[in-house]
Amino acid sequence: MMGSLSVSRSRLRTLAPAAALLCVGTALGVASAVSLEPFVPEAAIEYRPIEVGEDGYVTSESCRACHPSQYATWHGSFHRTMTQVATPESVRADFDGVVVDAVHGRPMHLARRGDEFWAEFDDPGWEGDPGERPRISRQVVMITGSHHQNIYWYSTGHDRALNVLPGVYLLDEERWTPRNAVVLAPPGQGVAMLDGHWNAVCIDCHTTHGKTRFDTPFGSEPLRDQTVDTTVAELGIACEACHGPAGAHVTANRNPLRRYGLHAGGGPDQTIVEPTRLDPQRSSQVCGQCHSIWEFPDSTAERAASVAGLPYRPGDELRTTRFVAHPRVNGRSEAMRAMIAADPDFVRGSFWADGLVRVSGREYNGLIDSPCFAEATTPERTLSCFSCHTMHKTPEDPRTVAEWADTHQVSAGMDGDAACTQCHDDIAIDPGAHTHHAPASAGSRCYNCHMPYTSYGLLRAIRSHTVTSPSVRESVAIGRPNACNLCHLDRTLAWSAEQMRNWYGQSPPDLGNDERSVAASILWLLGGDAGQRALTAWSYGWEPAQEASGTSWMVPYLGELLGDPYDAVRFISARSLRTIPGFETLQYDFTGSRDARIEAAVGALRAWRASPRARARRDPELLFGADGTLDTAAMRRVFDQRDSRPLFLRE
């Protein structure tokens, strides 16, 4: 059993204040002792990955003095807190005697011991009789995620190897929940809990210049037989992740004249990379190093990266040192075939059938499929990540740093149509003529039609980062919801196809009877696969869609999904249901017992039927009869056509 592990706070404390306090106490004749935690140098910590200054990396603290504004905005971003050491300042979850039920096996027990955080749970690595699975007690030493979820990692007791707690803390809901319940995975399919998973996988995108330092590739042999000496230049996504190692830059700019551009030759400083000064392709690849689906090109590259870290540096060509999965371009390549052979469900769990990415955190994959990127003729008219986003809030931006960070670091003024109309200036003259919606309405916002919520991650829908035009034909052939029917939830595919024909000359596809007569959202909600159900349930709670479609008719459909076999779908449905008037205080636990969930769903349906709003709509496409009663037989018919193939979305 591991002993008590004291987390180092060397970056948060100096000895000078303590020494001064001792002197004051002596001068006042106070007979007291000042108790300080023992100082533990970072290099002496053996039970978790550590920060090491090498290879020219000098950490963000070296940037602070000369770039205070940029440092401050980065410091307030979720990039910085993507990975943190578990301390009383960083841990937001409640550990004080908390019991987390519904995890695999027996409940997890949490406890706080001074400044340390501990968990007791069933040993995930036990290979014997499941009925004899032992309990283990481990100290939580690291956190990943800081926007919507906190995922907690514990020290395994073997070198610096980490493993993940079976529970996740949801920040918005302020509650613990089983880790398996927050991913969109088939019922009963547990999410792997493997010693060293963070060291081998998460490290690549959740830290700066991480080095796994395993003896052999992850999973090739038991971790207990390997040395695990994982290091990073900095935890979290820090300055040097985007600007490259800054050692030479710091050394060169110790001369104040050089800092003010008075160095020989003038011009841009060549000792550091400024992503916004790169061409659109290379600047976007700075983001794509993490926000993409990629793999090592071969085992030799994996071994080299384990020892020395990933070789990519900002400004490099990303594809030189890694394989970026791009089914529309390299779907038949040897590397893609190898990925599919290793994981047959990989493509369906990451991409729609036409190759567009369908999971969050992979926005670079979406960008490179956009005509505004792939078919642009000049750099000035090429869409890039920096067309809409900024890594540092500008002084002109009236938002607080917290507000800017919470809106995905969208640049000031780019939360409207400006990102599009700066190139499409002909549309900017009269937007309504193009959108056929009132200029001030949500239906007239470029991104609502051309970047709809068709990606999934973190228990919510995410905007597609592939700029496309609404297409009913694609919805029929591929199953991806289209922008029109994600907003007009009460309309059929036939209705949307008619608008597309009248407004833009699109020829309508052949449609089946249900596609002509039943609202598309109901087809996706009752008959779609788990991913379609999750996206549609989220849209039922999206304010613009509620304004366009009304909400009085939604309750029985969201209530149906309270019994969905997928935990994530149930969670999203309940959250959307609570946005409907009269159901704000719905008592429902998506991980509760089946009987409790059924009782909550039946109670919601009864409350709805007793409400005057229940008969407010009598639309046949919503499966209501002329008398306002719900056609449950028609609902069952659609339900019986559900795509029940197992789906695990690789968010």
pLDDT (0 to 100) of residue 260: 67
Q: How far apart are CA 11 and CA 441, in angstroms?
A: 49
- When pLDDT is cut at 50, 70 and 90, the band that residue 190 belongs to is confident
Mean pLDDT of 481-489: 98
pLDDT (0 to 100) of residue 612: 87
Task: Evaluate if residue 649 carries a pLDDT over 70.
Answer: yes
| Residue 506 in domain | yes
CB of 169 closer than 8 Å to CB of 206: no
Mean pLDDT of 246-258: 87
| Residue 194 in domain | no
20-34, 428-442, 583-597: range with lowest mean pLDDT: 20-34
- When pLDDT is cut at 50, 70 and 90, the band that residue 102 belongs to is confident
- Top-confidence residue, 138 or 257: 138
pLDDT (0 to 100) of residue 415: 87
| Residue 39 in domain | no
Domain hosting 581: range is 469-639
| Residue 591 in domain | yes
pLDDT (0 to 100) of residue 20: 34
Task: Evaluate if residue 265 carries a pLDDT over 80.
Answer: no
pLDDT (0 to 100) of residue 3: 37
- Amino acid identity, position 116: E
Task: Evaluate if residue 353 carries a pLDDT over 80.
Answer: yes
Number of domains present in the structure of the chain: 1
| Residue 250 in domain | no
264 contacts: CB under 8 Å, gap ≥ 6: none
Reported in sequence order, the residue ranges of 66-182 that DSSP labels E, i.e. its strands, are 83-85, 99-100, 108-113, 116-122, 135-144, 149-155, 162-170, 175-178
- When pLDDT is cut at 50, 70 and 90, the band that residue 263 belongs to is low
- When pLDDT is cut at 50, 70 and 90, the band that residue 520 belongs to is very high
Phi, psi for 98 (deg, rounded to 5): -85, 140
| Residue 446 in domain | no
Percent of the chain predicted with pLDDT > 90: 81
Task: Evaluate if residue 382 carries a pLDDT over 90.
Answer: yes
| Residue 594 in domain | yes
101-110, 313-322, 429-438: range with lowest mean pLDDT: 101-110
The overall longest dimension of the chain from CA atoms, in Å, is: 92
| Residue 359 in domain | no
| Most confident stretch, 185-189, 470-474, 627-631 | 470-474
Show the tokens assigned to 257: 């004249």
pLDDT (0 to 100) of residue 627: 87
Q: pLDDT tens across 318-346, in order? A: 999 999 999 999 988 988 888 888 888 98
CB of 150 closer than 8 Å to CB of 93: yes
Q: The whole model's pTM is what?
A: 0.92
Show the tokens assigned to 115: 């400044």
Mean pLDDT of 172-199: 93
Percent of the chain predicted with pLDDT > 70: 93
Q: pLDDT tens across 109-168, in order? A: 999 999 999 999 999 999 899 889 999 999 999 999 999 999 999 999 999 999 999 999
Mean pLDDT of 376-398: 94
